[in-house]
Amino acid sequence: MSHCKFEHPRHGHLGFLPRKRSRQIRGRARSFPKDDPSQKPHLTSFMVYKAGMTHIVRDVDRPGSKVNKKEVVEPVTILEAPPMVVVGIVGYRQTPVGHKAIGTVWAHHTSVEFRRRFYKNWKQSAQLAFTKRKQFARTKEGRLAEGRMFRAFAKKADIIRVVAHTQLRKLRNNRVGVKRAHVSEIQINGGTVQQKIELAKSLLEKEIRIDSVFQQSEACDVCAVTKGHGFTGVVKRWGVACLPRKTHRGLRKVACIGAWHPARVMYTVARAGQHGYHHRTHLNKKIYQKEVVEPVTILEAPPMVVVGIVGYRQTPVGHKAIGTVWAHHTSVEFRRRFYKNWKQSAQLAFTKRKQFARTKEGRLAEGRMFRAFAKKADIIRVVAHTQLRKLRNNRVGVKRAHVSEIQINGGTVQQKIELAKSLLEKEIRIDSVFQQSEACDVCAVTKGHGFTGVVKRWGVACLPRKTHRGLRKVACIGAWHPARVMYTVARAGQHGYHHRTHLNKKIYQIGRAVSMEPNQATTAYDLTAKTITPMGGFVGYGTVRNDYVMLKGSVAGPRRRVITLRRPMAPQTSRKLTEKITLKFIDTSSKIGHGRFQTKKEKSQWFGPLKKDRIRREERLRRERAARAAERKAKGGATAPKKSRK
């Protein structure tokens, strides 16, 4: 028979089952690249904000390919990457059942946007997050405890990660819609455990830029949450064909789902449910700079600040934290993370820890913690938070910094600890983690669409028009009893807002802030002076002011959502991912409608002087004449020069 047999259920894409709603909006890096002690200690992930997409023209340098030495147009995504701030160091040890945390070393000074993350309502909370920890860190006991924790990291930890948060204030974008910094752990790879701890210490309370993590032409994995579409039906959710028009119970359904009993319906049958807002990880995203036209995504990446160092030791049941060494000074945006309502709280987070760290006991405790890291830790991570104030974007909508652990890879444990120490209370820029032409993983939460039916959620076909109980349904879900319905049957549910990790996203470009590099979108082939922000700004986001990352293709999630970038889980050997990226043209025309002009100067030259330009020029001349007249009057001269008559 030429048609689809009724006894054969329609099947949807099963690669992402179960398609459930993500628990959080931030993309989570659930795993990190394999540690190579022969390398130098380095960070392995970064969090950025999706700004929008544009396209670029570049030359392909891929011997053996049909498009080698040709121009291609590719879509790219711009991700703004303000520096992240490291606020903690975590050590993990390997156990038979997974990693077990040894402890966490927090920074003594944390920002408000980071502390906001620990409160549901910052204004109504006491705002005391990290205040006791700050007071304790100033004391002798606090310093001793911190030292013990670092010694435990060095002794027991196998993995060292830093806790870092984003800086939303640096975005300066109100459209992002959050004030809480996004916090995540960043693993430190490379070197010994001691080297990882030293690196984490050096990063504590400092900003880390994205160019310290990724490089141009590298590939990265993108962990993000897709755009949510709520609860959708099978047609939209799974893309199944609609039923004939005369179906009296609905067209947008699955005609036959196989088994009569709901419990016996196959899991491969399309069912309505959550569409979008799923967590996805894109592997090997290329970081760009054929001549091909490709779409790209721009992610703004303001520097993150390291506020803690954590050491972990391996146990049979997983990583166990040895402890955390916190920075002595933390920003308000970081402390906001620990309050539900910052304004109604006492705002005392980390104050006791800061006071304790200044005492002799606090210094001794801190030393003990670092010695514990060096002795026990297998993993060293720094706790870093974003800087939302650097975004300067009210659209972000949060004041709490996003906090995460960043693992330090490479080198020995002692080298990792030294790196973490050097980063404590300092900013880390994205170019210290990633480089152009590298690949990265993107951890994000997709756009949420709420509770949707089977048609939108699974894309199943609608039932015929005459279906009297509805068209946008699955006609037969198989088993009769609900408990026996197969999980593969399309059902209504959460659509979108799922956590997703994109592996190996290619990094096309890592750019500096506008204040440092005004001509961000200028290339060797296009000498026009222009920034990466298109005319009129990115739709729904605005202007990119901080460091940014340009990733090939799309990234999960809507605009203004925080995204975590992670170094690839495995070394990249394919020619496609090891290709060096050379950008020829970056499109900066308006993304609102069909833009034609790359810059305002080009537009004014095409249209000529407009009425508003003439009015503005006349107003400027009038003010200049008034200023000259006032100056002459002050000197005692006439208000206007007299003309001589012949």
pLDDT confidence of residue 603: 85
Which of 251, 194, 267, 218 has its CA nearest to residue 488?
A: 267
The band of 640, judged by pLDDT with boundaries at 50, 70 and 90, is low
DSSP structure string for 281-321: EEEB-BB---B-EEEEEEEE-PPEEEEEEEEEEEEBTEEEE
| Other C-beta atoms lying within 10 Å of the C-beta of residue 285 | 36
pLDDT at 448 over 90: yes
pLDDT attached to residue 263: 87
360-373 helix and 142-156 helix, angle to the nearest 10 degrees: 0
Q: Does residue 515 have a pLDDT over 60?
A: yes
Query: Exposed/middle/buried for 219, CB within 10 Å: 0-12, 13-18, 19+?
Result: buried
Sign, Cα dihedral of 392, 396, 401, 402: negative
Spatial separation of the C-alpha atoms in residues 405 and 407, rounded to whole Å:
6
Read off the pLDDT of each residue in 327-346 and give the average, rounded to a whole number. Answer: 89
Reported as a pLDDT band with limits 50, 70 and 90, residue 641 is low
For 218-263, the pLDDT digits (tens) are 888 999 998 899 999 988 888 888 998 888 888 898 888 888 888 8
Which DSSP category does 444 fall into? B
Pairing mode, if any, of strands 304-315 and 84-95? parallel
CA distances to 244, 435, 505, 617 from 576, in Å: 44, 16, 11, 53
How far is residue 162's CA from residue 423's CA, in Å, rounded to a whole number? 9
Taking alpha carbons only, the member of 499, 500, 438, 489 closest to residue 460 is: 489
Is a pLDDT exceeding 70 seen at residue 106?
Answer: yes
Averaged pLDDT, 343-360? 87
pLDDT at 1 over 50: no
Give 77's DSSP letter: E
- Residue whose C-alpha is closest to residue 324's, from 191, 137, 193: 137
Rounded to an integer, the average pLDDT of 197-223 is: 89
pLDDT for 290: 36
Please give the mean pLDDT across all residues of the chain: 87
Which residues, including other chains, have CB under 8 Å from residue 398's CB and lie 6 or more apart? 113, 116, 168, 176, 177, 178, 179, 180, 181, 388
- DSSP lists the bridge partners of residue 55 as 295
pLDDT of residue 4: 54
Q: Are strands 304-315 and 293-300 parallel, antiparallel or unpaired?
A: unpaired
Is 450 a residue whose pLDDT tops 90? yes
Please tell me the predicted confidence (pLDDT) of residue 519.
Answer: 87
Instruction: Report phi then psi at 414, rounded to 5.
Output: -65, -40
Q: Tell me what pLDDT residue 454 has.
A: 94
Question: Would you say 444 and 224 are in contact if contact means Cβ atoms under 8 Å apart?
Answer: yes
What mean pLDDT do residues 436-457 have?
Answer: 92
> How large is the C-alpha radius of gyration of the chain?
28
pLDDT digits (tens, 9 = 90+) for 369-424: 999 999 999 999 999 999 988 888 878 888 889 999 999 998 999 999 999 999 99
Residues with Cβ within 8 Å of residue 296, at least 6 apart in sequence? 53, 54, 55, 56, 74, 75, 76, 77, 78, 288, 508, 550, 551, 552, 553
Alpha helices in 177-293 (DSSP H): 195-203, 234-238
Among candidate residues 36, 102, 31, the one with its CA nearest the CA of residue 409 = 36
pLDDT, one tens digit per residue, over 223-234 is: 999 889 999 998
What is the H or E stretch that residue 137 is in? Answer: helix 131-138
Q: What is the pLDDT of residue 9?
A: 46
Cα-Cα-Cα-Cα dihedral of 376, 379, 380, 383, to 10°?
A: -120
Per-residue pLDDT tens over the stretch 620-639: 999 999 999 998 888 876 55
pTM: 0.59
440's tokens: 């990265």
Reported as a single tens digit per residue, the pLDDT across 463-479 is: 998 888 889 999 999 99
Peptide bond into 9 cis (omega under 30): no
Could you give the percent of the chain with pLDDT greater than 70? Answer: 95
Distance CA 373, CA 364 (A): 14
d(CA 389, CA 546): 11
pLDDT computed for residue 615 by the predictor: 92
Q: Which of 42-51, 197-206, 264-273, 480-489 has the lowest mean pLDDT?
A: 264-273
**Mean predicted confidence (pLDDT) in 315-344:** 89
pLDDT at 266: 84
Average pLDDT (598-611) is 84
Q: What is the pLDDT of residue 307?
A: 92
Q: According to the model, what pLDDT value does residue 285 have?
A: 76
In this structure, the strands spanning 84-95 and 98-111 are: antiparallel
Contacts of 447 (CB under 8 A, 6+ apart): 225, 226, 227, 228, 229, 276, 277, 496, 497, 556, 557, 558, 561
CA distance 457 to 444: 20
Question: Residue 612: pLDDT band by 50, 70, 90 thresholds?
Answer: confident
Region at 459 (left for phi over 0; alpha for psi -120 to 50; beta for the rest)? left
Average pLDDT over residues 431-449: 90
Quick one: tokens of 70?
């040709």
Residues 43 and 162: beta-carbon distance below 8 Å: yes
DSSP characters over 363-380 = HHHHHHHHHHHETB-BEE
Say what the pLDDT of residue 250 is. 85
Longest dimension (CA), the chain: 111
**pLDDT class for 289, splitting at 50, 70, 90?**
very low
338 token code pair? 């620990």
Where residue 444 falls among pLDDT bands split at 50, 70, 90?
A: very high
3-state secondary structure of 534: coil
d(CA 22, CA 500): 8
